[in-house]
Chain A
Amino acid sequence: MISVENISKYFNRQTILHDISFSLQKGEILGLLGPNGAGKTTLIRIINQITSADKGFVSYGGDLMKEKHLLNIGYLPEERGLYQSMTVEKQILFLGKLRGLTSKEAQNQMEYWLERFGIREWRKKRIEELSKGMAQKVQFICTVLHEPDVLILDEPFSGFDPINIELIRKELLNFKKKGKSIIISTHNMNNVEEICDRAILINEGEMVLEGTVHDLRQQFKEGIYKISFTGNMIAFANALWVGYEIIDKEIHSDDSFTIYLKMRQENKINDLLNAVIGHVNITAVEEVLPSMENVFVKSINAQNEIISE
């Protein structure tokens, strides 16, 4: 759908973005990750044609991105704003028409979304009278009203309570089912793990990582396994030899434990199981993959070390 190719942006002789390239496929949810000041918002603004790139280009459906393509994009910026003195209804209709809908289309779409989000009775209220969460819902409606093929959402879950986070999450998955593509810029790694198919990580204006969420977690795994068993803890520890290192344990009762251990040398999980079977009753075994948060922190630290060297 969207292809970002070799984008660079400079400001006051400082590199904000350097040679960023990636693409967004149809029906895909892409997580755009990075610490504060990494250049995510600048990149999103370049995709939305709000800011121009100093180098590189953005294409949409194979064509160089132009103003007409913006009608196919729904953008929810991080710093959300609405006209405070306008009513919910007028606000939605205005932004809908600005994104190419006719009055009738905007009206129909508005009815649908107000009903869906259960805020029909708030339509005549001015934005300044709404709670923050309610205003966030209105902003989300304004973003999706024109049924865009691509959604670009900057921190879409911030400001929402858990119930509304779930509501938005479900809506995003519905959009995905309909074949829409979504870019989510976020700090919330749980969301990335839950709904993103792929993620890219930007730090100091450079793209540090790119891949599917599964691949990235695999890439950063450290050979840690989680074994739950019943029996004697000492018997379990004695059964192990130097090829394994216990790094953490959870005691559930006198004879129920979960152990986190790391493989050393060339050892495999089967070797471990062979060593302990007969000494304890194993109830569960699984490989521990790093969370996206760990992936994020490790990558950033690794890159910062390279830069400082």
Chain B
Amino acid sequence: MNKIILIAKREIAERFQNRSFKWLMVIGPLAVLGMIYLFLSTTTSTNKEWKVLLMDQEEIFNAKLTANPPKNLNFDFINAFVDYEEFAHEERYQNYDLSVWINEKIVSNKKVIVSYRERPPESIQRQIIYLVERRMEEIMVDQFTDLSIEKFREIKQSLNFTFTDVYDPKNEKSTTESWVGFSFGALIILFVFMFGMTILRSVSREKSNRIVEVLLSSVNARQLLTGKVLGVGFSALVQFAVWTIIVGTGLYLFRQSLFPDMFSASLVADEVANADISYDLANQSPFVELIYSQIQYMNMLVFFSLFFIGGYIFYGSFFAMIGASMGSESDGQQFIIPLTLLLFISVLSGYYVVYYPSTTLSTWLGFIPFTSPMVMMVELSNGFQEGSVWKLILSISILFVSAFFMMIIAGRIYKNGILRFNHRLKLRMLIKWTKK
């Protein structure tokens, strides 16, 4: 065990001395943060003009708003209800980007449904909420109390806004949760590929500079391989942990300083003239919703780690096999291509499961160790219903058992191939070496 630790420690030290490893540790998470920043920026500002159809059957609003809407918001009032189907497809409504339904019982149920063709950015959503709330305050004060608007605001109950896609009112097409899992799964595959290639390069370098023979006179092939896989794997986990910390800190800082208005209910309230407007964060942009309220980070990180470790050992064994058995560096390329293809298929299977989560194929893809790390992250983000957690347990078990067997096979090929040089690697040769 000491020897395995020694080898693992040397691998870790080598990774940490490697410039590209250190750069990746900083640039990787910053690139992720940069992309998030870009998404957040684009979803919070727009110059587009939004045309709004305010449907007020009972003419509660009397075709007027209290405050003047901004230039990029144009309201038209009708005293009729237009259902989703009509609004989506009838020609006369095609000019409207949004519809706001003031239902006849709004005074009691406090519900406002805003339907859209294209989800409006945060600023537009806030403006609509602000304008409707202000008008509603005016109506309530006028009709039901003697209080001043300021006093009424202190005691009033806020309206409850729901933003709905007019083309998918039941939210059936929503795959937001699945994409969270897909992102995590793709990150696993990315890390598996990056660090699998690190194993391959490390093994082939030791082979080509012949230090491996010196090492093998002190440790056996299995110890050497295990130490290497553990060392590189630990470096990968440290890399991921640093990514998590940097991205986590970055997201916190975004929330606190760069986009405070987007996230803080009190700041939103300030903007709408001190009105006590609170609205559900979940009704904001799907991306904001995704980042700040939907992802169950603890859950995802725990299973990310489990599936990464399993997937890394499973695929890493293949990379180690190729590194140990290739006669020359170019010789190994022929086997790296199909392996990369397998990883690509794994990503595609995740994509498939995002759109077809309930098919038999999706279920099987969740159990096959080549695809399970990707697929199960998608499944996890969708949530497992009670009674189907066994699928998750079975998938992890299959992955780890497969990884264990792959390590044994990789150990055999490593032992037989590591001291062979200048040969042409053939599949037949690999199969033969697994039997010895």
Q: Which residues from chain A sit less than 8 Å from chain B, CB to CB?
A: 45, 48-51, 67, 70-71, 73, 75, 77, 79-86, 90, 94-95, 97-99, 139, 142
Interface presence of B83 (CB below 8 A): no
**Smallest CB gap from B10: residue in A:** A94
B419 to chain A, nearest CB (A): 7
B205-225 interface mask toward A, CB cutoff 8 Å, 1 = contact, 0 = none?
010011111111111100000
Q: Which of B6, B17, B419 contacts A97 (CB 8 A)?
A: B6
Q: A82-B209, A84-B209, A97-B6 are in contact. Are A70 and B214 (CB under 8 A)?
A: no
B399-427 interface mask toward A, CB cutoff 8 Å, 1 = contact, 0 = none?
00000000000000000000100000000
Task: Name 23 interchain pairs, CB-CB below 8 A, sorted by A.
Answer: A45-B419, A48-B216, A48-B217, A50-B213, A50-B216, A50-B419, A70-B217, A77-B210, A77-B214, A79-B213, A80-B210, A81-B206, A81-B214, A82-B211, A83-B14, A83-B211, A84-B209, A85-B17, A94-B10, A97-B6, A98-B6, A139-B214, A142-B214
Interface presence of B89 (CB below 8 A): no
**Smallest CB gap from B418: residue in A:** A50
Interface presence of B3 (CB below 8 A): yes
B217 / chain A contacts, CB cutoff of 8 Å: 48-50, 70, 73, 75, 77
Q: Are A79 and B210 closer than 8 Å at their CB atoms?
A: yes
**Smallest CB gap from B223: residue in A:** A67
Q: A50-B419, A51-B419, A85-B14 are in contact. Are A98 and B219 (CB under 8 A)?
A: yes
Q: Are B10 and A67 closer than 8 Å at their CB atoms?
A: no
Q: A51-B419, A83-B211 are in contact. Are A98 and B3 (CB under 8 A)?
A: yes
**Smallest CB gap from A95: residue in B:** B214
Q: Which of A81, A86, A97, A98 contacts B213 (CB 8 A)?
A: A81
Bound form: Cα–Cα A45–B113 in Å: 79
Bound form: Cα–Cα A86–B214 in Å: 15
Q: Which of A45, A82, A86, A98 contacts B218 (CB 8 A)?
A: A98
Chain B contact residues (Cβ within 8 angstroms of A): what range? 20 to 34
Extra contacts, 8 of them, besides A49-B217, A82-B211, A95-B218 (Cβ < 8 A), are A50-B213, A51-B419, A67-B220, A79-B213, A81-B212, A94-B10, A95-B214, A98-B218
**Smallest CB gap from B210: residue in A:** A81
Bound form: Cα–Cα A83–B10 in Å: 11
**Smallest CB gap from A45: residue in B:** B419
A45 / chain B contacts, CB cutoff of 8 Å: 213, 419
- Count of chain A to chain B residue pairs whose CB atoms are closer than 8 Å in the complex: 59
B3 / chain A contacts, CB cutoff of 8 Å: 98
**Smallest CB gap from A100: residue in B:** B218
Closest 5 CB pairs of A and B: A81-B210, A81-B211, A75-B217, A79-B210, A77-B213
Bound form: Cα–Cα A95–B3 in Å: 10
Q: Are A94 and B218 closer than 8 Å at their CB atoms?
A: no
A106 to chain B, nearest CB (A): 11
Bound form: Cα–Cα A80–B215 in Å: 11
Bound form: Cα–Cα A70–B223 in Å: 14
A81 / chain B contacts, CB cutoff of 8 Å: 206, 209-214
B13 / chain A contacts, CB cutoff of 8 Å: 90
**Smallest CB gap from A80: residue in B:** B210
Bound form: Cα–Cα A94–B7 in Å: 9
Q: A98-B3, A98-B6 are in contact. Are A75 and B220 (CB under 8 A)?
A: no
Bound form: Cα–Cα A45–B215 in Å: 12
Bound form: Cα–Cα A80–B211 in Å: 6
B211 / chain A contacts, CB cutoff of 8 Å: 81-83
A90 / chain B contacts, CB cutoff of 8 Å: 13
A71 / chain B contacts, CB cutoff of 8 Å: 218
Bound form: Cα–Cα A67–B223 in Å: 12
B263-281 interface mask toward A, CB cutoff 8 Å, 1 = contact, 0 = none?
0000000000000000000
Q: Are A75 and B214 closer than 8 Å at their CB atoms?
A: yes
B10 / chain A contacts, CB cutoff of 8 Å: 94
A49 / chain B contacts, CB cutoff of 8 Å: 217, 220
A79 / chain B contacts, CB cutoff of 8 Å: 210, 213
Bound form: Cα–Cα A45–B126 in Å: 76
B6 / chain A contacts, CB cutoff of 8 Å: 94, 97-98
Interface residues of B in 123-182 (CB under 8 A from A): none
